[in-house]
Structure 1
Amino acid sequence: MKTRIILLAAGVAALAAAPLALSDGLVNAAISMLIAALFACAYNLLCGYTGMLSFGHSAYFGVGAFATVHAMNALGGAGLLPTPWMPLAGAAGGLLAGLAAGWFSTQRTGAYFAMITLAIAELLHAIAPQLKDVFGGEAGISTMRMPAWGLTFGSTVEVYYLTLAWVLASLALLYLLTRTPLGRLALGLRENGHRLRFLGYDVHRIGVLIFALSGMFSGIAGGLQVLSNESANYVVFNTSLSAAVVLNTYIGGVHAFLGPALGAALVTFFGYAVSDLTQSWLLYQGALFVLVIMFMPTGLAGLLALTGAFARRHGPRAVAPCAGLYLLAGSACAAATVFLTELLQRLFSQDYRSLAAAAGAGDWPAVELFGRAWSPMGAPTWLTPAALLALGWLCWRAGSAAAGRLRDAAPATQDPAAGAMSERRLT
């Protein structure tokens, strides 16, 4: 527990000091990462803790965004809701929308519940451009951050600290909520709703409350986005945003409280850093999601927990070579995948086909990739990714063998079941 507190305090301190070391562009990216982290944790309250998979959570993010933009335009950042308190309007909008939609959605479970949530988000996305007084049509609604409490909120750094304060406070409230009787009932609803009903609990009411609270915190995230962008557009209801929060949550890990925040922050930064470098960045993001679901169902947070358990059982010094081999294996396979993807993307592009047609039949122009020219007919072009894949496979086998030796050499005085599950997952 003490280690967790120290790590949490170090993380908060790093977030507080981040603007001192980052450029304005990276501070903007950090704001987006914080908002995505809060949205993912709010979604995980419904999906991870309660077991209700929603495919339309962008609806409550969007309602919170528009509630905030209307409040900013109506109140001008003064009166009862100065600029720092504006996300409360988003919270109210998300809560009311969550109550209304949750009452209908939670009448069903499983795939039927997921389809109802998707339909609600699609309905809002379809009608929003038509309701110009409410959603501003296709142009959306613009606003402006007004000074309050001696701050102008004109700089990116001030917006960052305001966002950080709201995100930390919201995450603390979400964590406390999971420790309340309602949070425990949410876990019970996920594990066995029929038993809860048999014990006399109103399962539908529990589902509606959790749905509404998830919508409320999603609305706060939407309000923070409005404070950052000073505008709201009907595209916030797009199902791509709902898909993104599902992807972020499962990549991070639905069974760890901060797992979704980790996944959302990493995926958001990945999109910021890579989207300008390659047209295939969405493909990489989707491939990462597939790999996590297939081989790491507990997400990145689960992988870190398993690695930590393995290290505590055998010692960090003994585990370091295994971790290094696994890391090298993953890096080599990732490099081979990126090389092949970028090469094939260029070979099948319209520009390359035009160059090949101009060069004449049988002549394949070289492809510029990673600072050098690669001939499509040259052996090095295809041997390079093959060698990287072979290296990755060898390192993976070596890492698995080293982990197996550690497991076999475990002292007999230790409980043989204490880390067996972690070790089997790692090997």
Structure 2
Amino acid sequence: MDMKTTSSSLPESKNLSRPFEGIRIIDTSHVLAGPFCSYQLALLGADVIRIEPPTGGDVSRKMGPNKEFNDAELGLAFISQNANKRSLAVDLKTEEGKQILWKLIDTADVFVENYRPGAMDRLGFSADAVKARKPDIIYASMTGFGQEGELSNRPAYDHVVQAFSGMMAANKTLTGEPHRVGFAIIDYVTGLFAAFSIATALFHRQRTGQGQRIDVAMLDAALIIMGQLLTEVAITGDLNRPGGTRAFSGSPISGIFETSDGLLATTANTQKQAVAMLKSLGLDELAADPRLSNWGDYPEMGDEFAPLLKDAFATHPAEHWERILSDASVPAGRVRTLPEILHHPHLQSREVVWPTPPIDGLSKQVTVPGVGFKMASGGPKIDRAPPKRGEHTVEILQSMGFARREIEALISDGIVKSS
């Protein structure tokens, strides 16, 4: 097999329709944080090649409540963050498999992994080894606690990091009981930080020609998104925040209230908002309370106002108060379920979720999240459905110069798998 090393380069800007077109990302990651990172870049045009073992591997392929999808190895956890990617199924424990990955690295701009420190080293694909082969590559690692430090080798999952980081303690009930955020917030924030760091490194490389080693820790990500709390503790040494449904600001004119048909969340963080909210509720006497100008000095106000607010909100439906308060420039929202908000007319204009191309063998339309922003031009789009394991093995190997007979031999020997 006659193979030539191909150096990646950014194409002329005039040929780009999306920001990361022309960028190739080798994604060896699994489960949530790593795949979510590369997914954001794939939506924006990057050629993301998933490296998967021929069998086993990513548990998210069978993660979710839908048996049909799980049996097809396209679990809902997997399809939610793997559209626009290609899948190469190769056994990296074999020498032939390693050589395939090395040849692919020669064509890549970014290498992504999210295993515990040392795992990629044992396979022979440490950051030092990869950068020695491809000096301008960006090598991004995501772990629970980082590449160094006394905790670096500890395993981690999202809810464990929520506990370890102080997030659960900050998310406490009125009685002080810690609670986890009800979805994998740390995994997704870690993936966002990693995608941002890769975009930053690509910009830096365009200016300097230099590659980069990126180290993203779930613990760091958890702390950073608690920025104000982190700063407060760093400066004062303590954290004094209300628990339960009281607003983060501590406003006594806030909370989640029972209405005549459901729950409403609302917060008045300024005196102007507090007066507007109380007048909208018909509580003009409370609106004239001089303590509203400096409620931080009057902690008793929350308990005093609570029963009066409760009685007022109970007189009308939640969406009535949502409209009335919003018109008065007071933030308010009925407590909705995810199914409710996904069918809300407003979502149609935001392009939050997108359909993918049909997937053979699945009876349902696949709809997946997009990115959390809109662009006037060159924005994200869905080109490919989430891949089946090894769906693009033959296509990728052929593009690397492998002959058909060589690919068939690799498949026969179990070195690679094609779906």
Both structures adopt the same fold (TM-score exceeding 0.5): no
Q: Whose helix fraction is larger, Structure 1's or Structure 2's?
A: 1
Higher share of residues assigned strand: 2
The TM-score with structure 1 as length reference comes to: 0.23
